[in-house]
Structure 1
Amino acid sequence: MIELLIPQRRRSLGGGLEVGRVLPFAKRRMVGPFVFFDHMGPVDLAPGIPREVDVRPHPHIGLSTVTYLFSGEMVHRDSVGSEMSIRPAEVNWMTAGSGITHSERFEKARSQGDHLHGIQAWVALPTEFEETEPGFSHHEGADLPQWQEGGVHGRLIAGSAYGLTAGVKTHSPLFYAHLDLAAGAVAELPPGHPERALYVVSGAIELEGTRYEAGQMLVVAPGASRFTAPEPAIVMVLGGEPVGPRFLFWNFVSSSQERLEQAKADWRAGRMKLPDLDNQEFIPLPEEPAPQPNPMS
């Protein structure tokens, strides 16, 4: 049973780069621990793109970010000393914990042009791990568990699903996978988790007799859930155990409003270390939005 249909909403990141924002959504702030879900592109980046397209150094607390590309290349640099290019079918998993800063640059596109297409998600950390030591891990595509059956090629990005477990270190029970479906293929949304969703990246799917197009996320109730691809499709499946209500401001996620205020003050005062390899600029703290009395849940 489908609980909610969430359409992507286009958001500009500046410099001509747009994303499709899916989570958070007014009627559904989180799916399991997933608190943020952006569909990047697909977009062609011409050689010589301006620096304004890059994502300058900025901070995070209380979450893990996971970047996954279908095409294109990005360079990640962070304040724990990491510098890593991410390419299609690879995973960059960054745990912010008590605080980290990072940048994302499009060096390949700048030198020779590129076709960028991918997903960036945030996973809220459980309360007991919100202040964990920050860290970063990179996982090659060949290291991710994969399977192929009945016209479905799957790649497990993180967590456990389909009888497999990924090598990415997570802090709460979850699953996150990329499915490529041939026309006519049937796939199953992994059971066993109280909160689950699927997102149609391209093509279309049919579930419970209704067709859903690219750019739509379906939040699905617990239980058996099979879907069919009437045409070739790319689908992301995700979910897990809830971690409890969360407050969100800009790039900060926390179970405590007071901790968010501290993070704001730290960034405003320059108390959060910038990446050693990318410390000549940063994104200022944005203006405060209107008050939101209720936490995300």
Structure 2
Amino acid sequence: MLDIVIESRSAILSPAVKVKRILPFRLRRMIGPFIFMDHAGPISAMPQQPSTLDVLPHPHIGLSTVSYLFGGQVTHRDSLGVEQIIRPGEVNWMTAGSGISHSERFEDPASLAGGLEMIQTWVALPERDEEAAPSFNNYTPEQLPVYTDKGVWMRLIAGDAYGLKNGVKTNSPLFYLHVVLQKGAAFGLPREHSERGFYIVKGSMEISGITYTAGKMLVFSKGVDPLLIAKEDTTLMLLGGEPLGERFIWWNFVSSRKERIEQAKEDWKQGRIILPPNDDKEFIPLPDDKFRPAGSSPRPEPLS
């Protein structure tokens, strides 16, 4: 059966970038290991102050960030010294582990000509990997298998589904796909994972006679195999996998232990999580616990 329909909410990523926030949601905190999902854009015009698009250096622990662009480009810099221009169709997988900081800069005005649009998800790490050494990997579209059928195009971003696999390094069983459907195309969800869902980027889908529109995430139980029909040309992001158990989230920190969140807060305040060496002149300070900034909670809360 259909477990829940999640309506995206508006949130602020930077002074000039508003996003649709899908996860976490108060009634459904995670789907498999996916603990966070934002949809930014499309943005087609550079603001008068281009720097207002930028996300300044900020920290993470206990998770992997996965950035995937439909249009435009973003420059990633992190505390490992990595500098990577992220382009459409690539997978950019940064594992924070014990701690990393990074920035996202929109430095090329020409990159907005076709519209900047991006999905970012966070994947929680298994307990054994929460303190792993941080890392960053970029995978080009040529490294990501594509499947086509009548009216269906899909690219496997990570994990395994529909018999597709790729070399994107993950830490737990999951699947993540970019799917494009022509009007009238029909298909089903992958069956090999416990928790499954899809987010409608644009267009609309019909399930059991009910139409669901863009900006919604639909989540399904294992063993339920709905027929999904595109009511118009539609783009979806499919994701899910095996649950990891209880997790806590505060600001940009994820952990299975509350005390680890508190340590990360102090580490950022004291400068023990270093800044990107090629972007170290400014950063986002630790939010005040007395209020709730976008994407955070006033105190660690369990996500399950």
Q: Which amino acid aligns with 2:40?
A: M
Q: Which residue is equivalent to 1:195?
A: 195
Please say if residues 76 and 84 of structure 2, whose CA atoms lie closer than 8 Å, have aligned partners that are also in contact: yes
Alignment of 1:239-250 (within 5 A): 239-250=240-251
Alignment of 1:248-259 (within 5 A): 248-259=249-260
Q: Which residue is equivalent to 1:152?
A: 152
Displacement, 1:193?
A: 1.2
Alignment of 1:183-222 (within 5 A): 183-222=183-222
1-structure distance, mates of 2:102, 2:50: 19
Q: Which residue is equivalent to 1:28?
A: 28
TM-score, scaled to structure 1: 0.96
3-state DSSP class of the match of 2:44? strand
Q: Which residue is equivalent to 1:177?
A: 177
RMSD value over aligned CA atoms?
Answer: 1.5
1-structure distance, mates of 2:71, 2:301: 38
% identity of equivalent residues: 54
Q: 1:246 to 1:84 in 2, by over 3 A?
A: same
Q: Deviations over 1:168-225 (max 9, x none)?
A: 1000000000000001111221112111111000000111221000000001111223
TM-score, scaled to structure 2: 0.94
Please say if residues 72 and 115 of structure 1, whose CA atoms lie closer than 8 Å, have aligned partners that are also in contact: yes
3-state DSSP class of the match of 1:45? coil
Q: Which residue is equivalent to 1:38?
A: 38
Displacement, 1:42?
A: 1.3
Displacement, 1:113?
A: 5.1
Q: Which residue is equivalent to 1:120?
A: 120
3-state DSSP class of the match of 2:20? strand
Q: Which residue is equivalent to 2:294?
A: none
Structure 2: which 5+ runs fail to align? 292-296
Please say if residues 249 and 300 of structure 2, whose CA atoms lie closer than 8 Å, have aligned partners that are also in contact: no
Q: Which residue is equivalent to 1:273?
A: 274
Please say if residues 250 and 301 of structure 2, whose CA atoms lie closer than 8 Å, have aligned partners that are also in contact: no
1-structure distance, mates of 2:74, 2:213: 27
Q: Which residue is equivalent to 2:99?
A: 99
Q: Which amino acid aligns with 1:231?
A: E
3-state DSSP class of the match of 1:261? helix
- The list of structure 1 runs, each at least 4 consecutive aligned residues, that deviate by more than 6 angstroms after superposition, is none
Q: 1:5 to 1:112 in 2, by over 3 A?
A: closer
Displacement, 1:112?
A: 6.9
2-structure distance, mates of 1:22, 1:81: 31
Q: Deviations over 1:224-278 (max 9, x none)?
A: 2320101100011000000111110000000000000000000011111111110
Please say if residues 20 and 39 of structure 1, whose CA atoms lie closer than 8 Å, have aligned partners that are also in contact: yes
Structure 1: which 5+ runs fail to align? none
Please say if residues 48 and 113 of structure 1, whose CA atoms lie closer than 8 Å, have aligned partners that are also in contact: no
Q: Which amino acid aligns with 2:302?
A: P
Q: Which amino acid aligns with 2:203?
A: G
Please say if residues 207 and 228 of structure 2, whose CA atoms lie closer than 8 Å, have aligned partners that are also in contact: yes
Question: Within the alignment, does 1:286 sit opposite 2:293 as a pair?
Answer: no
Q: Deviations over 1:4-61 (max 9, x none)?
A: 0001001122322100000000100000000000011112232754312200000000
2-structure distance, mates of 1:56, 1:26: 27
Q: Which residue is equivalent to 1:263?
A: 264
Q: Which residue is equivalent to 1:134?
A: 134
3-state DSSP class of the match of 1:258? helix
